[in-house]
Structure 1
Amino acid sequence: MWLGLAFLSAFFLGCYDINKKMAVHNNAVIPVLFLNTFFCTLFLLPLFLLSRVVPATIENTIFYVPTVNFEAHLYIILKSIIVLSSWIFGYFAVKHLPLTITGPINATRPVMVLVGALLIFGERLNFYQWIGVILTIVSFFLLSATGKKEGINFRQNKWILFIFIASILGAASGLYDKYLMQRISSTSVQFWYNLYQCIMMFVILVILWYPKRKNSTAFSWKWSILLVSLFLTIADFVYFYALTKPDALISIVSMVRRGSVVVSFIGGVFFFHEKNLKGKAMDLILIIIGMFFLYLGTK
């Protein structure tokens, strides 16, 4: 069941990536990110209110948001800081790089999660799963060569550095998720970490962006901003629930979830008309083959 949930999360995550690219295109990143956290919190607010006002209606379902103690809130605040830092770097990178570049780089994030899962949680992969991991690593080197054809030097382009930092922080968040979901309600974590992120982004918005807004990229409302929050909320809800399963492997869930690159690649082709698709398609094929071997490895 957890593997199916991981694939479902990957689909919605791909939809999120496409709309994120649309939302930040020629737009101010900070207010877009603030609205993202605001709407994510708003989508989950009805579950929180139901859990407090009429808890009996959803108490025995995955939609119930139980109360958590002070220590748990500290753990969730730490997650909020990690995720928000990853998003800030990631949003700026997505704004300045082709989606067909950022998507596959993000797809290498599970390799970092894999190393952490082996060292921290003692997870072990079988032969087929290792093949999937190796194919993902190879795909990155192919992507690097393709990026140079678009004038993107992986060593000197700061936006490439940004997406790498975002990926490292995202991998750390994934490992932390495995720890949290075995100890705290997944719905509670999702609601509170979105609320804390919203508060943090409001402070950043007021202090850093608003005073200098006339000297930077102007903000304009786009409906894709709302869709970013919707797809991310669904993707995270399914993902967190998958990690609550005792037999779920974070190394595999993370790898499958990054299969979202298939959806984002298609979006890059049809919505943004991105270039050099032949070389990038080879990278995509390797990732798909890697997903297949990961699937075989769970059988």
Structure 2
Amino acid sequence: MFRISGGEVYDPLHGINGEKRDIYVRDGKIVAPEDVDQKHLEVIDASGLVVMAGGVDIHSHIAGSKVNIGRKIRPEDHRRDPVPRSQVTRSGVGYTVGTTFVNAYRYARLGYTTIMEAAVPPLKARHTHEELMDTPLIDKGCLILMGNNNFILRHIGSGDYDKIRNFVSWLLHACKGYGIKAVNPGGIENWKWGKNVAGLDDLVMGYGVTPRQIITTLIRVNEELGLPHPLHLHCNNLGLPGNYQTTLETMKVAGQSRLHLTHLQFHSYGGESMRNLSSQAPVLAEYINEHENLSIDVGQIIFGEVTTMTADGPWQYTLYQ
């Protein structure tokens, strides 16, 4: 049990805006003052500090095979940002692809308490968890990639829904995943043949199914399994002019079911080419605000050099070009 004393408390959900008050915590939960033993309280002096809920980064890339590859191919990135050890912290390096301890320290300094690794191939889940276990201070979880899974696509084609639901449940348990992730559904499978999909009703080569079917099936599975997080969807046509139309159509596919659309700023473009590229974010924002079943993250970026990480092979090739 402890008391956070003297800080400025900000809690938009409860209308608290900078009030100085004490916060009481017992067994990891905020409780009323009368629910704690005042004689045996640890007191944390927060005078002059802000007290607020910890940040949650629902979509990050901090662990796993792709992150380790990113570290290997960016030695110059590490040379520019060495982090020496201190009396209480370990050494490491940044900058865009930091080591595990540096990632955790920097997230914690920003006020984050929970980070989700958002793209884990099932065969690399063990590696991901090994790195997450080496990431201190913050709570962690991961999302398992399923949007182009061979087993799922085959059984969408055959209409055997029960096998899909049971397989997803098993895969989450085997990989110790928090939720389902789908990246460019159908497009990644077509990329094996140097192709992509341009819309929700394009066919996935070799399976005879469409991105629309993949999305609706995974939404249904997610809801029937009662998972805490909605289907975490990286929409088709990321980064392309005019893709807001695909994004809007995808939102409508969800109906009344929950759906999380990730890094939405990259799916909000108007125009027909890069010459007249524009933002259609207001159109999507209006639709989202009218539908409580939808949630989003914007896909925050940093200025300067980046190390891109994505399961979307066609888009990565577009960047390369």
What TM-score comes out, normalization by structure 1 length?
Answer: 0.25
Q: Which has the higher strand share?
A: 2
Q: Which has the higher helix share?
A: 1
What TM-score comes out, normalization by structure 2 length?
Answer: 0.24
| The structure with more radius of gyration | 2
